[in-house]
């Protein structure tokens, strides 16, 4: 990811500003405020603003006027309890705002999470940058034969080279046509005085989905955890997972006690159905149980055995 000199100057100016406040601030998050965390080839995630901290969650849960308890261990115990028992509203008291640069096809997957406030760069008013996501060779995989939503073996040799060339050529060609239809340069100047350019809202429809867009994305902590539990998971698509991974770092800096509870009770946990719990109880009792006698489907059985570290 390359930043222009203007962008670097804008970030430096924002970081140089400071204000006295009585609001809760988190020094670890302040250290990276406005700083872009590179993602993919041209993308980034950066924290623009935030509200609240771990103490705000505790305060909301106890409905008190203070900042929680005097012992961090007590706050951690309460936050663990809240997450463990899915008491979600105290986490809604904290909010965070991100500036994200991402490929359009990732944005269209991301927007399915309808619990955030979003304002996206508008190609009706401005030109999109000449930047496209081209997968790294180790991410250029064939369609999985076992999972309709997953990837199979990585493409190699001439086949991989051909696909990469097609992705690059298609993106470049359609962007060239985009500029030609607009009849203007990146600064908005008319290129050919002898003809009219197509309206920006129409010219954009020819662009490929790996073209980069940007948005501001504001969300409360409860819904951020839901987003991250799905998108930072190993089963998530790689191109959105790397954004979630970058956001996990800011999450850890912002509310470290909640982050530890989240990794314990969400990311590192397994939810069991009633049938699965019955199987676990029988296994602990030493009973002989199989998929056929478990009232579970083959897929459910396989997933349970994998989570228990047993042969399916």
What CATH number does the domain containing 6 carry? 3.30.1360.170
Q: How far apart are CA 115 and CA 111, in angstroms?
A: 9
Within-domain flag for 14: yes
Q: Verify that 300 and 220 share a domain, yes or no.
A: no
Q: Verify that 221 and 284 share a domain, yes or no.
A: no
81 with 259: CB under 8 angstroms?
no
Q: Verify that 10 and 80 share a domain, yes or no.
A: yes
Q: Verify that 263 and 280 share a domain, yes or no.
A: no
Within-domain flag for 13: yes
Can you give the pTM of this predicted structure? 0.89
Low-confidence ranges of the chain (pLDDT < 50): none
Q: Verify that 48 and 70 share a domain, yes or no.
A: yes
Within-domain flag for 157: no
Predicted local distance difference test score (pLDDT) of residue 239: 96
* Residues acting as catalytic residues: 231
Q: Verify that 222 and 284 share a domain, yes or no.
A: no
Within-domain flag for 33: yes
Within-domain flag for 205: no
Q: Verify that 264 and 278 share a domain, yes or no.
A: no
Q: Verify that 15 and 100 share a domain, yes or no.
A: yes
What tokens appear for 162 in the block? 């051909």
Predicted local distance difference test score (pLDDT) of residue 49: 96
- Beta-bridge partners for 132: 211
Within-domain flag for 255: yes
Q: How far apart are CA 306 and CA 308, in angstroms?
A: 5
Q: Verify that 250 and 295 share a domain, yes or no.
A: no
* Cβ neighbours of residue 217 closer than 8 Å, sequence gap 6 or more: 97, 98, 99, 100, 116, 117, 118
Q: Verify that 241 and 293 share a domain, yes or no.
A: no
Within-domain flag for 262: yes
Within-domain flag for 100: yes
Q: How far apart are CA 35 and CA 216, in angstroms?
A: 14
250 lies in which domain range? 1-128+212-269
Q: Verify that 263 and 297 share a domain, yes or no.
A: no
Number of folded domains in the chain? 2
Q: Verify that 259 and 278 share a domain, yes or no.
A: no
Predicted local distance difference test score (pLDDT) of residue 187: 74
């Amino acid at each position: 990811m390359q930043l222009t000199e203007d962008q670097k100057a804008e970030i430096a100016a924002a970081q140089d500003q400071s204000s006295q406040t009585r609001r809760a601030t988190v020094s670890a998050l302040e250290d990276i405020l406005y700083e872009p965390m590179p993602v993919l080839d041209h993308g980034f995630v950066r924290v623009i603003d935030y509200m609240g901290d771990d103490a705000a969650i505790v305060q909301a849960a106890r409905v008190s006027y203070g900042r929680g308890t005097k012992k961090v261990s007590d706050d951690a115990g309460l936050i663990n309890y809240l997450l463990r028992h899915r008491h979600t509203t105290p986490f809604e008291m904290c909010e965070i705002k991100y500036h994200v640069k991402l490929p359009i096809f990732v944005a269209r997957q991301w927007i399915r999470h309808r619990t955030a406030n979003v304002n996206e760069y508008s190609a009706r008013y401005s030109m999109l940058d000449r930047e496209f996501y081209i997968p790294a060779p180790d991410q250029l995989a064939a369609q999985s034969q076992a999972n309709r939503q997953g990837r199979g073996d990585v493409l190699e040799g001439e086949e991989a080279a051909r696909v990469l060339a097609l992705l690059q050529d298609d993106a470049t060609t359609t962007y060239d046509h985009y500029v030609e239809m607009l009849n203007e340069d990146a600064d908005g100047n008319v290129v050919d005085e002898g003809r009219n350019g197509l309206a920006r809202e129409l010219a954009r429809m020819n662009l490929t989905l790996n073209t980069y867009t940007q948005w501001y994305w504001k969300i409360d902590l409860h819904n951020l955890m839901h987003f991250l539990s799905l998108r930072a998971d190993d089963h998530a698509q790689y191109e959105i997972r790397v954004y979630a991974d970058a956001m996990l770092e800011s999450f850890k800096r912002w509310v470290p006690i909640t982050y530890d509870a989240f990794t314990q009770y969400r990311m590192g946990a397994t939810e069991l159905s009633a049938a699965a719990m019955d199987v676990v109880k029988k296994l602990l009792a030493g009973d002989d149980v199989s998929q056929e006698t478990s009232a579970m489907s083959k897929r459910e059985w396989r997933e349970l055995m994998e989570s228990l570290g047993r042969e399916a």
